[in-house]
A and B are shown apart, each in its own frame.
Chain A
Amino acid sequence: MRLSELLNKEVIDANGQSAGHVHDVRVIQDGPITSSFDAALRVHGLIVGRGALANRLGYGRSAVRGPWVIRAVLEAGDKPTVVPWHRVRVIEATRILITGSCDDLERARPVSDGRGAARE
């Protein structure tokens, strides 16, 4: 499966309610990437939200804070949540079905902390 096959699909909970669209796939690197680790990046869950542009520009989840105009416009009404992978049941052509209700999904916490940055 490719990452692009998950992105932008609509997420539907057990009650048939929409939780928004898949904005991203959160993975966890559980060790240094070297040839000795054959599964360093594991899929942890889906980031689901509503404002597509805000998502693409990285607001809401990364450490990007300013400028406030863009932030205020783009983050209005968009509170991305995380769907843990174990709740994902079916991946269809345009939708992803999950177990339980979308009301108990947690807010997605920001991910970037500046570590990935800056070569010397």
Chain B
Amino acid sequence: MKKVFALTLGVLTAIGGFVDIGDIVANTAVGARYKWALAWVVVVGIIGIMLFAEMAGRVASVSGRAVFDLVRERLGPRFALANLIGSFFVNLMTLTAEIAGVALALELATDVNYLLWLPVCAFAVWLVIWRVKFETMEDVVGIVGLAMIVVAVTVWRTGPDWGSMFHEATHPSLKSGEGLPTYFYYAIALFGAAMTPYEVFFFSSGAVEEHWTRSDLFVNRANVYLGFPLGGLLSLALMSSAALTLAPLDISVAHLGQVALPTALTLGKVGLATLLIGFFAATFGAALETALSSGYTIAQFFGWQWGKFVRPRDAARFHTVVLATVVVAAIIGLSSVDPIKVTEYSLIFSAVALPLTYIPILVVANDPSYLGDRVNSRFSNALGSVYLVIVVVAAVAAIPLMLATKAGA
């Protein structure tokens, strides 16, 4: 049983990364609009995040150094500060959206306006970080988050024609009237959703929180190879469920409720209730992940004591940052910005910031002074180099595409 729980870090990281509020809506919107024509991006994203997280987790396990620590060592304080400011901004935006996402899930269950839930949700997020053990937190949220699997069941029960589904995914084509720039804009958003920097901040810091060492490299791999494909599978399921039920009616998706309609129609009340629990856990998990990541990045940049593996009073500045970030996110959320729009933008900005985090990790994963004989294999480096190109191209293209397509309008 302990072995099962050893895998929840990867599950929680991946659920928080792949099916947080922005991704839930984005994947559904993309499925309703393009059906399976963008499914390949999710696959590219899954492989990328597995490669990236495995390297970050390996470095953290062997050397005890988490990602942002290395970013500063390898990029120097100036570049690292630029990265810190960018990453922190993306984190804050995402946290705002996730807290609102938890509130939106509760709104769907209760029909009470989400703005009333929002302060409660923000407080709950902070309280869990303050009081609950890291392992308990990831076990509970990771396992409850598995309720999202109900989306895959929905797709199964809808009984799609798997052959034509596969054909559409492998031979992407655009409906008439759809432009290529918009298509690629969504491609970058989906890629950014899969390979978010905060996932690796959280995963590598989590490895330190859990006291992984050289002998836990197997656990690291198992987490990466199980957790992230699961997250990716849920992404694809959301996309398929929308492609099967919403696309035929040409519905454009902007709300969480629309995401749940196919499941309600296919699996009834039980399915719907399970999905709402899944929404709640996934967004709550993502909120924890981003709130902690904001503390991790700042503390690691300055070298402060961080983490839940010490008493809060021994990591005073870290907990101050987390508390302040949650409060600010809640205030932004209460100003009634559209939380779903916020994550859509933050996905694009995380694609822009990604190279500044990816490159230092790729380099350190090759450095024997950190890893001894556990440096990257030839295969990892070959794949790592391919992704280096992808990551840089996506970062360069993101902003121009966003402006040219008016954010995919």
Instruction: Mark A residues whose CB is within 8 Å of B.
Output: 56-58, 62-70, 112-120
Find out whether the CB atom of B385 lies under 8 angstroms from the CB atom of A118. Answer: no
Among A57, A65, A69, A113, contact of B74 (Cβ-Cβ < 8 Å): A57
Residues of B within 8 A of A (CB): 62-64, 74-76, 213-214, 359-360, 362-363, 366-376, 378, 381-382, 384-385, 388
Given contacts A69-B388, A70-B362, A70-B388, contact A117 B381 (CB under 8 A): no
Let me know if A118 and B381 touch, CB within 8 A.
no
> Is B381 a contact of A68 with CB atoms below 8 Å?
yes
Q: How long is the Cα–Cα vector from A116 to B369 in the complex, in angstroms?
A: 5
Interface SS of chain B: helix
A117-B76 in contact (CB<8A): no
Does A68 contact B385, Cβ atoms closer than 8 Å? yes
Once bound together, how far apart are the Cα atoms of A119 and B369, in whole Å?
A: 11
CA distance A113 to B64 in the complex (A): 19
A-B contact pairs, 27 of them (CB 8 A): A56-B75, A57-B359, A57-B363, A58-B367, A62-B369, A64-B363, A64-B366, A65-B366, A66-B366, A67-B366, A67-B381, A67-B385, A68-B385, A69-B385, A70-B385, A113-B368, A113-B369, A114-B372, A114-B373, A115-B369, A117-B369, A117-B371, A117-B372, A118-B214, A118-B372, A119-B213, A120-B213
Q: Which residues of chain A are within 8 angstroms of B375 by Cβ–Cβ distance? A: 66
- Measured CB to CB, the closest approach of chain A to B391, in angstroms, equals 12
The answer to whether A117 touches B74 (Cβ under 8 A) is no
Q: Is the interface of A mostly helix, strand, loop or mixed?
A: loop
The answer for the CA separation of A114 and B368 in the assembled complex, in Å, is: 5
Contact A63 B381 (CB under 8 A): no
Q: What is the CA–CA distance of A69 and B376 in the complex, to the nearest angstrom?
A: 14
Give the distance to chain B from A57, nearest Cβ to Cβ, in Å: 5
CB <8 Å contact, A119 and B64: yes
Q: Which residues of B contact A117 (CB under 8 A)?
A: 62-63, 368-372
Known: A117-B62, A117-B368. 4 other contacts (CB 8 A): A56-B74, A56-B76, A114-B368, A119-B64
Once bound together, how far apart are the Cα atoms of A119 and B216, in whole Å?
A: 13
B63 with A67: CB separation less than 8 A: no
Q: How far is the CA of A62 from the CA of B367 in the complex (A)?
A: 8
Within the complex, what minimum Cβ distance (angstroms) separates B119 from chain A?
A: 42
Partner of B368, one of A63, A67, A70, A119: A63
CA distance A69 to B392 in the complex (A): 13
C-alpha gap A68/B362 in the complex (Å)? 11
**Chain A residue at minimum C-beta to C-beta distance from B74:** A57
Q: A70-B359, A112-B367 are in contact. Are A119 and B63 (CB under 8 A)?
A: yes
Distance between Cα atoms of A65 and B364 in the complex (Å): 10
Distance between B50 CB and nearest chain A CB, rounded to angstroms: 17
* A112: contacting residue among B64, B368, B384, B388, CB under 8 A: B368
